[in-house]
Structure 1
Amino acid sequence: MATPQPSQPILILKEGTQRQTGRDVRNTNIQVARIMGEAVKSTLGPKGMDKMLIDTFGDVVLTNDGATILKKMDVQHPAAKTIAEVAKTLDDEVGDGTTTAVMLTGELLREASELMAARIHPASILSGYGIAAKEAVGYLEKISVDIGEDEEKIYRNLVKTAIAGKVSETSPDKIVDLVVKAVHYATTEENGKRVFDKDQVKIVKQETGSVLDSELVEGLVLLKERAHPGMPERVEDAKVALVTESIKIEETEVDAEIAITTPGELKKFKDQETENLKKMVEKIKNVGANVVIVQKGIDDKVQDMLAKNGIFAVKRVRKSEMEQLARATGAKIVSRVKDITPDKLGYAGVVEEKKLGDENRVFVEKCKNPRSVTIVIRGGTKHVTEEVERGVEDGLKTLSTVVEDRRILAGGGAPEINVSRHLRKVAEKVTGKEQLAVIAFAKALESIPQTLARNAGFNPMDTLADLKAAHEKSGTPWIGIDLENGKPVDMMEKGVLEPLRVKTQAIESAHETAALLLRVDDMIVAKKEDLSKDLEKKPKKFGTTGKKW
């Protein structure tokens, strides 16, 4: 019996909703991914170019940092947003590899598009890509090496690779020194493992001088001034007290009233308050503290008393900075003044208020064995200091992963060309259409060394051919591209290094994003509501009565 046909059209989706299905939606997503990859491709490597990004307020950002570019682009397409979110997650986790991941996502989808044009089903492509990604990560883990005993040299080379292109060629060694020293200070041992807490390295920017004037403060720079101008500007051999609660007369826990009937009683009451405040200041002085840093406020009378006693004080300091100060000075944070004891004081060689640009700032420096430090970045313009800051952030995140994992690879396209060669061998053992997908994955990886060569001004095809030939002859997995002359060279010997986790995460992220977009065969976009019409319908209300006037 035939199914009866409805006499009226059936509306499933709201009027104005757009729908794209099948091959159309896949082709659109692939095109978007390729455009995203092309947008950041020219920034890859130390010879990469910068992008100038101007937002709706006219603010300008100059950078070649992939994560920053994607963040500032304000993309609208759902596929583009997905790729941007993956890049942000990767940047947050390992601090580098975002450009590689986005580029590789676009290349994987481009290869998939060609396979689908040859009537290979997306399911076969996804299966082959899964095999290739697993093999790629496993092979990189196999060929990676431990950083060994010469940590200082390895750390310096890792940071130099991470900041290449973000810091002027005249000042990379200066920034490398600052980052490596900061990491050594902020690294601790927990349960037999070394741990680097990136949050214990504070970064302060100042648009003055040159990048070479940047410095590492063995302690903390507070974006604050002294609580009172009568306090000493500089305190040497500082004994530091850290207090969370306000230094003032404590309020009672219950409401109470005091009946004062004569001026004499009022004066006596005020004198008693002053006496209590004096006792607080005497307590601070008697325990030996000559610097007091308070998370909340300080009573005006207390500020004056502290100044007369030659005690340096800072108020309204953030909780995170209080914790950093504790790690830097060795002080123990207390809730109230009465809890301060000599054993809870920290030490700083110098606490001083001095100019940083046009503003006065408090420097707590020359601490003994500080576990929290500050990098002060200087530069001639806002764009310079911001780009150097991004380089420093990348360097810190890079070392964070290496301190934990201790595994590294060579750079310069060596890992990608090596994995590509390995996957072609793996493909010989894979049966069915999945074999073509594994080969496609290998071809996508070759886009990384090709792009490095192109951005450095060399012929990408010739460079790739030379690189493959060098790998066939040498037998070492570390042959990459010397971007100074375009020739194959042992990148491990040259000191171009990258953390293992950066490469594996980039490949895994690219594979997962490409697979996610390939699985989409239907996209439904709801019509945007026009909120302005709803606002026009509602009466405007003014005043507190809710009446319309």
Structure 2
Amino acid sequence: MAQQMGNQPLIVLSDDSQRTSGKDAQSMNITAGKAVAEAVRTTLGPKGMDKMLVDSSGNVVVTNDGVTILKEMDIEHPAANMIVEVAETQENEVGDGTTSAVIVSGELLKEAEELLEQDIHATTLAQGYREASQQAREILEDIAIDIDSEDTEYLEKIAATAMTGKGAENAKDVLSELVVRAVQSVADDGVVDTDNIKVEKVTGGAIENSELVEGVIVDKERVSENMPFAVEDANVALLGDALEVQETEIDTEVNVTDPDQLQEFLDQEEQQLEEMVDALHDVGANVVFVDGGIDDMAQHYLAQHGILAVRRTSSDDISRLARATGATPVSNVKDIEADDLGHAGNVAQKDIGGDERIFVEDVADAKSVTLILRGGTEHVVDEVERAIDDSLGVVRVTLEDGQVLPGGGAPETELAMRLRDYADSVGGREQLAVEAFADTLEVIPRTLAENAGLDSIDSLVDLRSQHDGGATAAGLDAYTGEVIDMDDEGVVEPLRVKTQALESATEAATMILRIDDVIAAGDLAGGQIDSDSGGDDGPAGGPGGAGGMGGMGGMGGMGGAM
């Protein structure tokens, strides 16, 4: 980049810097965004396909979970990473709908590209998209269906919908029941913290053999073989301390002049440990989970009293145990009182998948539970876990909000129809952007049809016809190809999944559209996503030579724009 100053050029950027400006920058970023969307598009819906991702170490992930695919792909292109952020935000906020959010982002950019070629300004497009997004939110809230958070059967349908098309689909009836029970157990005044639902994966057995433990499973063993394997009617103590003799804060030296003094010193340490264990025994504790270590002598005294003890328990497990049993964690064992103890019907060391773990079960009001997921292979269990995460997210959001929308592309078709009507009331060139937004939304039912091997045009025509007739919940059944009432069929998803997806997709697309200059401090050769994705739509190689960017190709060769 050089600026003329008199007869001398003024160099502003370093020799290593690269710059792409104007339409080249917009085309480059749009092409990158479209390529990301194209990478996950075939995974959408109940008949979506899976991706196999192999990292540099040879580790394999087989999944059709949008956010997992994009994280594993190791994308370097800066504009593409902005689309990946849409998926990550969607995952963090609601747990499902990541693929839909990314596809909408890519389609918004594709529609914008055509309008940019007609000399519609990017700022005008961004304004129109924002107006359309706001209107879309109001329409979605208008057509949302209110549900009773106590309606377990309906919640199970929502959980099953989130699993459809994923590795867990064959056992979705069993798993959706477990998911709903888990979320209802940890719900606290309408607020659900899914961190209180721990997921344990076990390789071996069928997915249908998965189970819910209303309590906590700690991935530890009792500290001594002399301790009981199981304790009925357990009084549980939680210590944020170690059952060891405390080291002095400063370096000390003890001079021992005869053996009696040494023995006295050892006896004193032993007495301290015995007092610690006596403090636990005196308040009635018969199960102890300790944050730190447990001295060998303390183990001996604990075993003598028939106390089952576990050492080096993680702070997360301590928190879960506190919620499950009602125990209060104590920092110093000498301060423990009977009121600090929690209660469980049964605490036992059991074998699960070849590993010994501590089960804390039969809790009166379990506010922390554990899902044990089983599957034939490690890859199967991992994919079931991803499906369960999505399912937990949508049930949590439904319990909190109490509003759902029909699935199968129904809300998108309804939005597209109403937004086209709304566009007539929008003045200026923003009207074109609103119409483009409406066209964009139909990419969801169109993709559902394509992935199911159906004729996307016929399916879209049928959907539009039914929605014109007032059938708000009419959606596409990917299995039969028919347009049916999704609410009656029980194919529903939380309102927040859709509103979050549209808002974050719109924000990412408008941010990318408003970029007209890309200045890179060094080589910006982004990783290739898909050599075919978007390559035909990319710039032909105007100033700056950005034409070498087929799909997600690197941003090299841009020196001509300096």
Tell me the matched-pair count.
Answer: 522
What's the counterpart of residue 484 of structure 1? 479
Give the superposition deviation at 1:448.
Answer: 0.3
What's the counterpart of residue 356 of structure 2? 360
What's the counterpart of residue 209 of structure 2? 213
Q: CA-to-partner distance for each residue in 1:291-316, whole Å, 9 max, x for gaps? A: 11001111111012212222110000
Amino acid at match of 2:261: E
Which of these residues, 509, 514, 536, is aligned with residue 514 of structure 1? Answer: 509
What's the counterpart of residue 231 of structure 1? 227
What's the counterpart of residue 54 of structure 2? 54
Instruction: Tell me the percent identity.
Output: 48
Q: Kindly indicate whether the alpha-carbon contact (under 8 Å) linking 2:90 and 2:96 is maintained by their aligned counterparts in 1.
A: yes
Structure 1 counterpart SS, 2:519:
strand
Alignment of 1:153-172 (within 5 A): 153-172=153-172
What's the counterpart of residue 551 of structure 2? none
Amino acid at match of 1:57: S
Deviates more, 1:336-345 or 1:94-103: 336-345
Q: Kindly indicate whether the alpha-carbon contact (under 8 Å) linking 2:149 and 2:399 is maintained by their aligned counterparts in 1.
A: no
Cα distance in structure 2, aligned partners of 1:394 and 1:155: 14
Cα distance in structure 1, aligned partners of 2:169 and 2:163: 10
Q: CA-to-partner distance for each residue in 1:154-211, whole Å, 9 max, x for gaps? A: 211111111112234431111111111110110012xxxx111111001111111111
Is the aligned partner of 1:291 residue 2:309?
no
What's the counterpart of residue 183 of structure 1? 183
What's the counterpart of residue 242 of structure 2? 246
What's the counterpart of residue 534 of structure 1? none
What's the counterpart of residue 18 of structure 1? 18
Which of these residues, 257, 270, 280, is aligned with residue 261 of structure 1? Answer: 257
What's the counterpart of residue 401 of structure 2? 405
Deviates more, 1:292-301 or 1:400-409: 400-409
Give the superposition deviation at 1:145.
Answer: 2.1
Give the superposition deviation at 1:391.
Answer: 0.9
Which of these residues, 343, 346, 350, is aligned with residue 350 of structure 1? Answer: 346
What's the counterpart of residue 309 of structure 2? 313
Cα gap change, 1:156/1:263 in structure 2, threshold over 3 Å: closer, same or farther? Answer: same
What's the counterpart of residue 541 of structure 1? none
What's the counterpart of residue 87 of structure 2? 87
Q: CA-to-partner distance for each residue in 1:96-134, whole Å, 9 max, x for gaps? A: 111111111111111111111122222221221121111
Cα gap change, 1:254/1:457 in structure 2, threshold over 3 Å: closer, same or farther? Answer: same
Give the superposition deviation at 1:357.
Answer: 1.8
What's the counterpart of residue 143 of structure 2? 143
What's the counterpart of residue 78 of structure 1? 78
Which of these residues, 285, 292, 297, is aligned with residue 301 of structure 1? Answer: 297
Structure 1 counterpart SS, 2:8:
coil
What's the counterpart of residue 106 of structure 2? 106
Structure 2 counterpart SS, 1:14:
coil
Cα distance in structure 1, aligned partners of 2:223 and 2:84: 44
Give the superposition deviation at 1:396.
Answer: 1.2
Deviates more, 1:101-110 or 1:7-16: 7-16
Cα distance in structure 1, aligned partners of 2:12 and 2:55: 39
What's the counterpart of residue 457 of structure 2? 461
Cα distance in structure 2, aligned partners of 1:113 and 1:272: 80
Q: Provide runs of 4+ in structure 1 moved above 6 Å.
A: none
Cα gap change, 1:100/1:358 in structure 2, threshold over 3 Å: closer, same or farther? Answer: same
Cα distance in structure 2, aligned partners of 1:516 and 1:273: 66
Q: Kindly indicate whether the alpha-carbon contact (under 8 Å) linking 2:463 and 2:476 is maintained by their aligned counterparts in 1.
A: yes
Cα distance in structure 1, aligned partners of 2:235 and 2:332: 17
Which of these residues, 255, 273, 277, is aligned with residue 277 of structure 1? Answer: 273
Give the superposition deviation at 1:149.
Answer: 6.0
Cα gap change, 1:168/1:246 in structure 2, threshold over 3 Å: closer, same or farther? Answer: closer
**Structure 1, unaligned stretches of length 5 or more?**
530-549
Q: CA-to-partner distance for each residue in 1:460-508, whole Å, 9 max, x for gaps? A: 01000011111122x1311111112111111011101111111001011
What's the counterpart of residue 45 of structure 2? 45
Cα gap change, 1:201/1:147 in structure 2, threshold over 3 Å: closer, same or farther? Answer: same
Q: CA-to-partner distance for each residue in 1:318-365, whole Å, 9 max, x for gaps? A: 111101100001111111222222221111122111222232111111
What's the counterpart of residue 537 of structure 1? none
Structure 2 counterpart SS, 1:123:
helix
Is the aligned partner of 1:501 residue 2:468?
no
Cα gap change, 1:309/1:16 in structure 2, threshold over 3 Å: closer, same or farther? Answer: same
Give the superposition deviation at 1:418.
Answer: 0.4
Is the aligned partner of 1:390 residue 2:386?
yes
Cα distance in structure 2, aligned partners of 1:118 and 1:56: 43
Give the superposition deviation at 1:459.
Answer: 0.6
Which of these residues, 402, 416, 423, is aligned with residue 427 of structure 1? Answer: 423
What's the counterpart of residue 96 of structure 1? 96
Is the aligned partner of 1:472 residue 2:462?
no
Cα distance in structure 2, aligned partners of 1:149 and 1:328: 22
Structure 2 counterpart SS, 1:196:
coil
Cα distance in structure 1, aligned partners of 2:420 and 2:34: 24
Q: CA-to-partner distance for each residue in 1:256-300, whole Å, 9 max, x for gaps? A: 655432111211221222122222222222221111100111111
**TM-score w.r.t. structure 1 length?**
0.92
Is the aligned partner of 1:524 residue 2:525?
no
Give the superposition deviation at 1:378.
Answer: 1.1
Alignment of 1:198-209 (within 5 A): 198-209=194-205
Cα gap change, 1:442/1:273 in structure 2, threshold over 3 Å: closer, same or farther? Answer: same
Amino acid at match of 1:28: M
What's the counterpart of residue 323 of structure 1? 319
Cα distance in structure 1, aligned partners of 2:120 and 2:249: 75
Q: Kindly indicate whether the alpha-carbon contact (under 8 Å) linking 2:149 and 2:398 is maintained by their aligned counterparts in 1.
A: no
Structure 2 counterpart SS, 1:310:
coil
Structure 1 counterpart SS, 2:10:
coil
**TM-score w.r.t. structure 2 length?**
0.90
What's the counterpart of residue 127 of structure 2? 127
**Structure 2, unaligned stretches of length 5 or more?**
525-562
Cα distance in structure 2, aligned partners of 1:366 and 1:472: 54
Deviates more, 1:64-73 or 1:231-240: 231-240
Cα distance in structure 1, aligned partners of 2:502 and 2:453: 26
